[in-house]
Structure 1
């Protein structure tokens, strides 16, 4: 089967490498884009924080490449893909809808990091952790005209533990996704794949996230803020707050005993018994452990020690 691979992420890189070793699969072309690209919800451009250079990898494996300039319907891209005569598109680590003009050439299948139909749309793993879910998953499905709504070819799940971060969950999801491709693509190529129609009554669609969506709301309870921090830590842009109008990223935190902070205004930050504690909503507190300010990542205690010990530390709104 003649496959055109579409992707631009580290996970996409791993999937492309694995697909090259599958029997009866011939990758005849790769569509990718640059690390910074424009998209409908951010015409000013966004940076792909999970970017991988598929262009160089494909060239090293003698696979033709097209680097998308603006959109998937651009004339050069459509003409190039048509010349490759695809029988299937495989899409992984891609932020654009695959248009009908391409899917009329060949069906498209892709991996989505949720148990569809739930958590359709953008940043499914981030949203799942923010929302305190205890299970995540990945789905291989065939594309249709809607948002992640085509028939399911295979799914796999993993637990989200209280200690997990986006990095640890994403790592397990990658392993499960690679296994799905290895198991299911040969069935697609051989015409034996089973397709399960999604239950639309169970669909929830979540929006894409931007770096500016990481602003912490200290009026939320500590558990919610903890989930918010661990959902956006490395390799993502991170949750953040402001101190004296300067941005402070919070990379690692944990729920703490509110203790003497009970009744404090949310956003008040104190150093108590060697712990940097912040008052949160509902009379709860969180300990922040690792932060970065002015481009330098340090422990929270190191950051706190740089401030006047007699002046209160209050996280405020941006100025």
Structure 2
């Protein structure tokens, strides 16, 4: 029987661990994360799935300690798999499995190597992304590719929408590649690392809207950080405004030096100084949801400028 040690977290971790269990792979150990206090947990639990199947589970702050390396060495796994595990798995661990260590990454490598690839792909207006199964090397997301599955990014998709597609693509990718991996016949294609690039993590403050940009660029930011992520934000009449959902109305030029915010009975809109018009479909003003009728009750038909 094929034996694996699995490093996993999040929905991708749950679905890919499920693929291994379904295929009859012996899971000798699951390494996952404790949910951080205060985090919004909107995804499924790898720890709960492992407990359901009585799989031993650990949640170390650092998986690369000599003690854990020794523990995993003693298990003599054929494979190590990493499915959306957040920490780097270093060379001593990567050298343990007899048939290799593989990672499932949420982009079509070599594009969008590094952190939060789904969010970055939307910010850059990509129309396609996917999931890639590749061998791990000391350099992250750089190893030879075993299998990929592409998914579309539609023009109004949020990061949550795309992440659900990527989760499905990850499951399909692993399921398709697993028989050849177990048999030792899987082909692997080296990456061309002159293509694509590395991207870092994102923080809530990166969701601040730059109203000098085009409506298209602002729309991409809004949907890339829409809930369950922290959301795009700005200030309206001296109070914080969170923009949770938008859609493009047009891409016409705008001669105003500033972006103009206004609402009517049909909705709330911004004529963007960088060109184009957005309809803002979901808003929080001063911590509360606000609809067009409520805006009109406060501001009337007054148009407000956004810096």
**Structure 2-normalised TM-score?**
0.89
- Structure 1 pair 239–59 and aligned structure 2 pair: CA distance change class (3 A): same
Which whole-Å deviations, capped at 9, do the CAs of 1:237-283 have from their partners, x for residues lacking one? 22111234543221111123488x94334343112453311231334
Match of 1:177 in 2: 170
Query: Which residue is equivalent to 2:191?
Result: 198
- Say which of 83, 86, 91 aligns to 1:95: 86
The answer to whether the aligner puts 1:17 opposite 2:10 as a matched pair is no
**Aligned counterpart in structure 1 of residue 115 of structure 2, from 122, 130, 135:** 122
Using a 3 Å threshold, how does the CA distance of structure 1 residues 308 and 297 change in structure 2: closer, same or farther?
closer
- Select between 306-315 and 250-259 the one with higher mean Cα deviation: 306-315
Relative to 1, partners in 2 of residues 1:60 and 1:257: Cα closer, same or farther, differing over 3 Å? closer
Deviation at residue 12 of structure 1 after TM alignment = 1.0
1:156-209: CA deviations, max 9, x gaps?
Answer: 112222232222222222222111111112211210110100112213111111
Structure 2 gap segments, 5+ residues each? none
2:272 — aligned with what? 280
Are residue 66 (structure 1) and residue 67 (structure 2) matched?
Answer: no
Equivalenced residue count is 304
In structure 2, do the counterparts of structure 1 residues 86 and 244 end up closer, same or farther at CA, with 3 Å as the change threshold? Answer: farther
> In 2 relative to 1, CA 27–225 (structure 1 residues): closer, same or farther, beyond 3 Å?
same
Structure 1 residues 212 and 77, CA gap change in structure 2 (3 angstroms): farther
SS at match of 1:20: helix
1:58 CA displacement: 1.2
Check conservation: 2:251, 2:276, Cα contact below 8 A: yes
Q: Please give the alpha-carbon distance, in whole angstroms, between the structure 2 residues aligned to 1:74 and 1:275.
A: 55
Select between 144-153 and 166-175 the one with higher mean Cα deviation: 166-175
Partner of 1:268: 260
Aligned 8 A contact 1:239 1:249 in 2: yes
- Mapped to 2, the partners of 1:20 and 1:117 lie a distance apart of 29
Q: CA separation of 1:310/1:290 partners in 2, compared to 1, >3 Å: closer, same or farther?
A: closer
CA RMSD of aligned residues (A): 2.5
Distance 1:179 1:57 in 2: 19
Residue of structure 2 in register with 1:40 after alignment: none
The range that moved more, 289-298 or 279-288, is: 289-298
SS at match of 1:95: coil
Using the TM superposition, give the Cα deviation of residue 303 of structure 1 relative to its aligned residue in structure 2, in angstroms.
5.3
Change in CA separation of 1:143 and 1:306 when aligned onto 2, cut-off 3 Å: farther
Residue 102 (structure 1) shift = 0.9
- 1:42 corresponding residue in structure 2: none
CA distance in 2, matches of 1:295, 1:101: 48
